[in-house]
Amino acid sequence: MKATRTWLPFALALPLFALFAALGTWQLQRLGERRADNQVRESALQLPVVELPAAEPQDAVVGNAIIGRRVRVTGTWALEQELVVRGHAYLGTPGVYVLTPLVVEPGRAILVLRGWLPAADGLSADLAGAVPVTTADPVTVGGLARASQNPVPVPVRRVNYPDRTRPVLGNIDLPAADSLVPLQLAEFVVQILPDEASRDGRSGLPVPIPAPELNDGPHALYAIQWFGFALIALAGAIFLPRAARAGSISNPGPGDKS
């Protein structure tokens, strides 16, 4: 019986210790992956700006090679094909993203994330008040080439805004956008950055979205927490039986002699 009381806490604590330690190690692996990814993204940002469309075919940067690089695109806005991405907050305020095709060649366009607009319900934004000043003439916009986001289980809706009807997406899903726009879209989106926002000749709306921060994220903190839980589980197995034994000695039963 005494042996059972001695080893039972360890039998319960050791699986917890192993689980928490494994979770802490996993978070350290995630931290290493994030730092490696940050290095790749930082290197891409240091590369020369890609001019689109390319002056010569051999100058074209396509596929994943362009993701994460700064680009400058010249074309004409196709405002009648504008899309909205619902439910995106910025600085704690609900709103939407505005995606507008920029026609670079006949029948071909690049989808541009022009920025964010406030909307209390995450949908009903003042899109009519965020039209580019220059709409018919070619413009040049600069920003960051980013990949399509994974689809979300939110069906595409067509919403009647005061000026016209627009398709509303649940995410920056390029395949879904391509099925809604009668243009051949590039396989990436250009996100206008704050330092490039003045190049397209528009007002302060929509608000340009900054590039994602290159930081370590929460992984180091999570690792410390999981390793702390592991130590607590092990310490509990060691010290709780001792505390129980000390308590039984200091509080003798009614039949014990003083």
Phi, psi of 134 (to 5 degrees): -100, 120
**Which pLDDT tens digit goes with each residue over 87-145?**
999 999 999 999 999 999 999 999 999 999 999 999 999 998 888 766 668 888 999 99
Domain boundaries, the chain: 7-39+216-243, 49-200
Burial of 126 by CB count in 10 Å (0-12 exposed, 13-18 middle, 19+ buried)? middle
Q: Work out the number of other CB atoms within 10 angstroms of the CB of residue 18.
A: 12
N- to C-terminal Cα separation, the chain: 26
Segment 241-249 shows an average pLDDT of 56
What tokens were used for 57?
Answer: 């075919």
Segment 12-39 shows an average pLDDT of 91
**Which pLDDT tens digit goes with each residue over 41-85?**
888 888 999 988 866 554 556 667 899 999 999 999 999 999 999
Beta bridge partners of 190: 112, 145
Output the CA torsion 59→44→150→206 (10° steps): -90
- In the chain, the DSSP E strands lie at 50-52, 70-77, 83-85, 95-105, 108-118, 139-146, 157-160, 165-169, 184-192
**Residue 116 CA to its chain's centroid (Å):** 15
Burial of 101 by CB count in 10 Å (0-12 exposed, 13-18 middle, 19+ buried)? buried
Q: Work out the number of other CB atoms within 10 angstroms of the CB of residue 245.
A: 13
